[in-house]
Amino acid sequence: MKAVTGLKENAAVKKVLAVLFVLLMCLASAACAQQVKASFARGDYQVSVGSSLRVRPDVRNWNGKVTLEFSSSDEEVAPVDPKSGTVTGKAAGRAEIRCRVTAGDESFDLSYEMTVYVKIKSIKVAQSRVVLNAEETFTPQLIFTPADATYRTLDWTSSDEKVATVSRSGKVTVVGLGHALITGKVKDHDWHTVQYRVIVPQVTFTEKKILIDRPGPVTVQYCVNKDKGHYAIEIAQDGGVIRLSDDSRDDSTSVSGDTAEADWGEEEIWPRRAGKGRFIVYVNNLGYDIQVEVTKEAVEDLPLQTTPAPIVNKDNSEGESEDSEDYDDSEDWDDSEDWDDSEDWDDSEDGWDESDFEDG
């Protein structure tokens, strides 16, 4: 009886051991199946037309030989080297890049999306200086190089939203008087920036430009829209071709007030030498100007100046003046010519400092 009992016990132990062995084999098999792991760092990549990018998956938990085989869903957009995984941008568009990973007896597929874009070389705005009136709107004309650049949506900002606001589409709306610098930025691989200045005149002139062709003074009339609150006006000139009537003011003056009504002003200017210059009215440090030309006839009776007259800057300091030069009588002044406010403004012009545009 004892022998039979011992045999039964041995059989039970063997069954338990067999079950445990099977469980251990299953666990070992599952561990082996989960051992090899591979993935791309990201799910999407970008490359510009004409450039190449090598993207390979990261294979983990495997010390043996790994074979990678790449393919592209669109060889006309993004062909890929089947062994190295190097993708070349051929045309703008998108393609799925697939990779078969083989590690030992295990094989599985990975993929990512490749976007091919036409890279921006430059962006320009058709008008670098735009003059607008109250409540006007404006959308700039942008010039992309190359013309088929892929990323053409810019993020827009205004330096002074009390003067002009700008929408996400780039539409500018005038809300006040003064100057505002509008900036647009776009990123493909690098950041690209374009800027232009919006001027909402706080000063307007009765004339488009001024011609002094005879001796004696000429009266310049201008209107200042004070736009509520305190204001300060300063009169100045640039170019050294004219002088203001009151020399004791050293070519500048200041007044202040608190009303919101328009205020008319006038100033007598005298010819100083033949040439071209500007008459400038600064309101709260923002300058508004009108072109002035003095002919040779206007200065014939003036004493000969052996030293050119100094240029008076906005801060009343004297800067370098232009060398004296003979006035060319053959140059015609076209009174019918319209003053083009959209004309590009050369900030590098002598006597005009970009700091003059800083917020007042």
For the residues of 34-102, what is the DSSP string, one character each? HH-EEE-S-SEEEEETT-EEE--PEEES--S-EEEEEEES-TTT--B-TTT-EEE--SSEEEEEEEEEE
- From 181, 174, 176, select the one nearest 159 (Cα to Cα): 181
Supply the pLDDT for residue 203: 85
Q: Output DSSP code: residue 80.
A: B
H-type alpha helices, 36-117: none
Query: Average pLDDT for residues 99-105, to the nearest whole number?
Result: 90
**Confidence class for position 95, pLDDT limits 50, 70, 90:** very high
Predicted confidence (pLDDT) at residue 351 exceeds the cutoff of 60: no
pLDDT value at position 159? Answer: 96
Which is higher by pLDDT, 254 or 164? 164
pLDDT at 10: 67
Q: What integer pLDDT is reported at residue 302 of this predicted model?
A: 73
What one-letter code names the amino acid at 208? K
Mean pLDDT of 93-122: 93
Q: How confident is the model at residue 97 (pLDDT cuts 50, 70, 90)?
A: very high
Write the burial class of residue 142 (CB in 10 Å: 0-12 exposed, 13-18 middle, 19+ buried): middle
pLDDT score, position 251: 43
What pLDDT does 222 receive? Answer: 86
How far is Cα of residue 275 from the mean position of the Cα atoms in its chain?
36
Share of the chain above pLDDT 70, in %: 68
Nearest Cα neighbor of 129 from 357, 359, 292 is 357
pLDDT tens, residue by residue, 51-82: 999 999 998 877 788 899 999 999 999 999 99
Give the pLDDT band of residue 256 (cuts 50, 70, 90).
Answer: low
High-pLDDT (> 90) share of the chain, %: 46
pTM (predicted TM-score): 0.57
**pLDDT higher than 70, residue 237:** yes
Using the predicted structure, report yes or no on whether residue 354 has a pLDDT greater than 80. no
Which of the two residues, 252 and 350, has the higher pLDDT score?
252
Reduce the DSSP state of residue 353 to 3 states and report it.
Answer: coil
Given pLDDT bands bounded at 50, 70 and 90, which one contains residue 223? confident
DSSP class of residue 298 equals G
Dist. CA 243–CA 236, nearest whole Å: 9
**How many Å apart are CA 272 and CA 311, to the nearest integer?**
11
